[in-house]
Amino acid sequence: MSKTLKGITLKGSAELVAEFFSFGINSILYQRGIYPAETFTRVTQYDMSLQLTTDAKLKNYLTNVISQLKEWLFDCTVQKLVVVITCLETNEVLERWQFDLECDKTFFLPDQCKYESIQEEIRSVIRQITATVTFLPLLETACAFDLLIYTDKDLEVPEQWEESGPQLIDQSEEVRLRSFTTTIHKVNSMVAYKRTNST
């Protein structure tokens, strides 16, 4: 955790954003019940209590993805991160949590930028993710999740990564959530879910 005093550097901003994603994805998995609640433990972050998984395989997977994502954030080659939730029985995509990233390469070292304000914004985003549970349709069947990263076309794909489709939802409703910015990276959040016919 880089509590830079004067301002935020590119590296610090990348670390902040990657940390946010790590906790955000854990929150989404806990709230949507992709993994059982007993496999999560409570931690304190951003002055609020969040859930973090204890499943070893899942932790391993997340750390792999987040570390690679941090590198790409530093290079400003990543455009979006998407959490795709698919139903295992029908192989349909039920929810898509999409985080757009805008990287401002021509940054100056600002002296107004404060860590506390960024933290406040991140807090509000995570609270909003928790609040979306009220209007998202229930996931009744067993589901699994996947993390997709939208990058520049010319990026070299490392081993263990492969190209995939965007895994869009057929007949979706979209809701835009809050965004936060570290003046170098701007993260816009939105959630798309499959329209249920019973409403």
List CB contacts of 125: < 8 A, sequence separation 6 or more: 20, 24, 177, 178, 179, 180, 187, 189
Residue 176 has φ and ψ, to the nearest 5°, of -90, 135
Please identify which residue in 112, 153, 198, 199 interacts with another protein, judged by CB under 8 A. Answer: 153
Look up residue 2 and give its two tokens. Answer: 């880089």
76 vs 123 by CB, closer to another protein: 76
Per-residue string for binding with another protein, 96-115, x by CB under 8 A? Answer: x-x-x---------------
- Please report, as residue ranges, which positions from 117 to 146 form the binding site for another protein (by CB under 8 A): 142, 144-146
Contacts of another protein in 159-178 (CB under 8 A): 160-169, 172, 174, 176
Write down the residue that tokens 């609640």 correspond to. 37
Return the closest-CA partner of residue 80 out of 57, 96, 62, 59: 96
Task: Provide the token pair at 8.
Answer: 């935020």
Q: Which of 52, 136, 177, 190 binds another protein (CB under 8 A)?
A: 190
Nearer to another protein, 114 or 176 (CB): 176
Is 82 an interacting residue with respect to another protein (CB under 8 A)?
yes
As a whole number of angstroms, the longest Cα–Cα distance in the chain is 54
| For another protein, the closer CB: 74 or 115 | 74
Cα 122 from Cα 35, distance rounded (Å): 24
* Number of amino acids touching another protein (CB under 8 A): 42
Report the residue from 66, 94, 103, 192 that binds another protein according to the rule CB under 8 A: 192
Residues facing 33 on adjacent strands:
none
- Candidates 38, 105, 157, 198: give the one binding another protein (CB under 8 A): 157
Q: Which residue has the tokens 């192989």?
A: 91
Tell me if 73 sits within 8 A of 66, measured CB to CB: no
**Residues at the site binding another protein, with contacts judged by CB under 8 A:** 58, 61, 64-65, 79-80, 82, 84, 86, 88, 91, 96, 98, 100, 142, 144-153, 155, 157, 160-169, 172, 174, 176, 190, 192
